[in-house]
Each structure stands twice: as structure tokens, then as C-alpha cells.
Structure 1
Amino acid sequence: MIRHIATAGSTNDEARDPQLAHGDVVWADEQTAGRGQRGHAWSSTPGENLTFSVVLRPTFLPAGEQFLLSEAVTLALVRTFGDYGIDTRIKWTNDIYAGDRKLVGILIEHHYAGATLDRTVAGIGINVNQRTFDPSLPNPVSMAQLTGRTYDRREVLEAYLARLNEEYGRLEAGDAPRLQADYRARMYRLGERHPYRLADGTAVEAAIEGVRPSGELLLRHDDGTLRAYLFREVEFVIAGR
């Protein structure tokens, strides 16, 4: 079921409604208090893009493997854009990039039942038809800017939900190793040497080698050491940001 509303503070907040079941979607034409990762706000011109949240019930997934769900959510986006002829990569943890520009922001919020996940809300913002952005935003891009086309937003949403159903089905069927391999293969900057900033402000150069099932980013440093970083322990340094 897709619940399409004109305005919401945050679709993730709306999706907390206990009446919503697995696979249900809250889609708002405008968010007045959209949230992104690292506490950032999500900015989007009303009626031009897609801002929605999907309710999932991954009760089969241990809490320590919750990042596998992020992999399914993001891989479904990459495959959806591929269907539209747009080449994208997954910027750890959850953003989708076309080149060095951000096409999608994602905020995934989990709720637990003991040792397993119970209910997850995946909030997704896709830049679809917007062609001009606030210059204060670091590096946004839209599907329309990349292709010169205007898109039916509901069609894009339904295409994504079909892909998400496929990836989620693979995870539920126990195909985690292939899911992880596919995620790794689509990672932004995989195997390339680039600058990063650590939580204490230290600048380093390293190459991405992959990600653990628990979500830590694996970076190979110049001295040859391989180190694992949690979400807030390392930040990408990207030109123009």
C-alpha cells in the first residue's frame, strides 16, 4: 500500500504508524522536517522529487547483521537507476552517487525485539525532476539533470519498490554472501586511493576494500594496515563539498 500525502514533517515519523504493515510506503510531496544522516536536514523542492519511507519487518535478521538490510535497500536503488540508464555507486553507508554528486539520501531507522530486528523504516529521498538546487547544498544532482528527461515520480517509486522486493527476497532467503559481494562491487571509490577525515580531524589517504556485515568500512592505509571504521569515525573528503 502506498499512502500518498501532500505534506509531512518527516515520512519516517509518519511511517511509525503501527497500522502500517511490511512493504507499506508513506510518500509525501513535501517534507517540512526531513532528516538525513549525521543530523543533516534533507532539502527538496515540493512536487519535483521523491521523499518516501518504506516499512520493513526483517524479524529473521540478527541485530548484529542489520547492515545487510542497508545493502538490500541501496542495491535496489542502484539497480533501479540502471534500468533508467543512469550509472550510480553506493557511498558508504547509504548515499547514492552519480560520479561525485549525490542523487539519493537515505536514513534507515531500526527497532529491535531482543536479539533480532523487529521493524525498520527506510527513509529515501531521490532527486528526480529538480533542475536547480540551493547553492549552499554541497553536491546534489537529479535524474533529470543527468538525462535531460522529466520522470513520472510514481513510476520511479513503483520501479524501485519492485527492485527492493527482489533484493529483500534474496536477503530473506539467506543469500547474504552474494548480496554483500554485489554491494561491495557497487561501492563508491572502491579500490581507489582518496583522502578521508577521521573523527578527531586527522587527514589520511586510504583505499576502500569493502565493508563488514556489521557495517564497518574497511580502509587500506598508506602504511599497508587495514582498519575498520564505524559510521561516525571517518568522513569522505570530496571536492566541491
Structure 2
Amino acid sequence: MIHHIAETTSTNDDARDGRYRHGDVVWAERQTAGRGQRGHTWTSPEGENLTFSVVLEPTFLPVGEQFLLSEAVALALCDTFEAFGIAARIKWTNDIYVGNHKLSGMLFEHSFSGPTLSRSVVGIGINVNQTAFDPALPNPVSMALAAGRAFRREEVLDAFLAALRRRYALLEGGEAGRLHRHYAERLYRLGEEHPFRHPDGSLFRATMLGVRPTGELELRHADGTTRAYLFREVEFVVKR
């Protein structure tokens, strides 16, 4: 069920309430304290974009395989944009890009019950019809800018939820390998050499080899050595 509200601090905060169950959606027009990855905030002009959270209860999924849920959601977003004529890529870990511009982002917050997940809240922001952005943002884009037309937000949300049901069914049905292959096919900069940044700000060049099912980014360095990086251990460098 979709719960459409005018304002909240964060849809993820609301969606943690136990009254929301698997498949429920909290969609807010305004978030006063929306959160993104790496401690960033997420802001959006009222009436132009989609900021919502989806509640999932993947009790079948072991804690060590939680990244597969991220793959399912990222693929559902790519499926959605493709349905509207927009070719998108998945930028590790949880961003969706068109070219070198960010179209959508995700934030996962998990709860555990012994060895498996019990509840996951997925916060999602999609730039739908916004055409003017804060100059401080490094590289935003919207569906409207990418496609050259405006979209009905309700239609976009419905398309995403349908795509998510399909991708989630693969995961629940034990087809994680198939899901991971599809994820790998959609990766941003796969097989390409680009600069990356360490947490201390130092730069290095490497070729992206892929992402493991457990979520680590695999890079081949200029000296031929390979290494797998966890989230926060490395960052893409994307020119504005």
C-alpha cells in the first residue's frame, strides 16, 4: 500500500514504524531531514521528484548476502527507467547514473533476526521532473532532462514497484546468480580505467573488474595487482 504524505523528517524514519509491513511504501512530498549515502542529506523541491521508502521483509536472506537485496532494487530502478526510454547504469554502491550524471540514489537500513534479515527499509530518491539544481550538487540529472519531457510521478512509482516485485521474486526464488549476472551487466564503468579516491583524499587509477555478490568492488591497479574494496574504502571520481 502507498502512503502519500505531505511532510516528514525522513521517509525511512517513518517506514520503521511497525504498522508498515512488507511492500508498504511511504511517499513524502517534503523531507526536512532526508538522508543519503556517506552522511549526505537529500533535498528535493516539492511536487517535482519522488522521495519514498519501501518496507521489505526478506526473512529468507542470510545477513551475509544482504547486498543481493541492493542488487534487486538497483535493477528494478534500471528496469523502470528503461521502460520510459532512459538507459541507466548502476554506480557502485547505490546510485543510478545516466552517462556521468546521477539520476537516483538509495539508502538501505536493515534489521536482523539471528542469521537472517528480518526487515529492510529502502529509501529512494528519483529526480523526475526537476530541471534546475543547486550548483553545489556535483552531477545531477532528472528523467525530464534525460528524456526531454515531463513524467507523471505516480506512473513512475507504479512502474518501479512492479519492477521491484519482479526482481524481488528472483531473489526470493533462489535465483541470486541470475540476479547478480544482470547486475554486473548494468554496472557503470565496468572494464574501464578511471581515477578513484582513497578516504584520505589521495587518488589512484584502476580498472573496474566487477562487484562481488557480497558487495565488494573489485579493482585492478596500474601495477597489475587486484584488490576488493568495501563501501567507504574507495570512491569514484566523476567529473562535473
Same fold (TM over 0.5): yes
1:199: how far off?
2.0
* Structure 1 counterpart of 2:17: 17
Within 5 A, what are the aligned runs for 1:180-219?
180-219=180-219
Counterparts of 1:73 and 1:43, CA distance in 2? 21
The alignment status of 1:134 with 2:130, answered yes or no, reads: no
Secondary structure (helix, strand or coil) at the match of 1:82 reads: helix
1:23: how far off?
0.4
Within 5 A, what are the aligned runs for 1:1-241?
1-240=1-240
Counterparts of 2:106 and 2:212, CA distance in 1? 19
Q: Which moved more, 1:60-69 or 1:191-200?
A: 191-200
The C-alpha deviation readout for 1:17-52, integer Å capped at 9, x for no partner, is 101110000000111110000000012111100000
1:201: how far off?
2.6
Counterparts of 1:214 and 1:80, CA distance in 2? 24
Counterparts of 2:220 and 2:165, CA distance in 1? 34
Paired amino acid for 2:78: V
Counterparts of 1:202 and 1:73, CA distance in 2? 31
Paired amino acid for 1:111: S
Counterparts of 1:127 and 1:93, CA distance in 2? 18
Secondary structure (helix, strand or coil) at the match of 2:85 reads: coil
Counterparts of 1:200 and 1:45, CA distance in 2? 33
Paired amino acid for 2:98: A
Paired amino acid for 1:169: A
| Alignment TM-score, normalising by the size of structure 2 | 0.99
Spell out structure 1 runs of 4+ moving beyond 6 A: none
1:202: how far off?
2.5
1:208: how far off?
1.1
The C-alpha deviation readout for 1:117-160, integer Å capped at 9, x for no partner, is 01000000000011101111111000011112111101100000
Paired amino acid for 1:77: L
1:211: how far off?
1.0
Secondary structure (helix, strand or coil) at the match of 2:232 reads: helix
Counterparts of 2:201 and 2:124, CA distance in 1? 29
Percent of aligned positions that are identical: 65
Counterparts of 1:228 and 1:201, CA distance in 2? 18
1:105: how far off?
1.2
Secondary structure (helix, strand or coil) at the match of 2:209 reads: strand
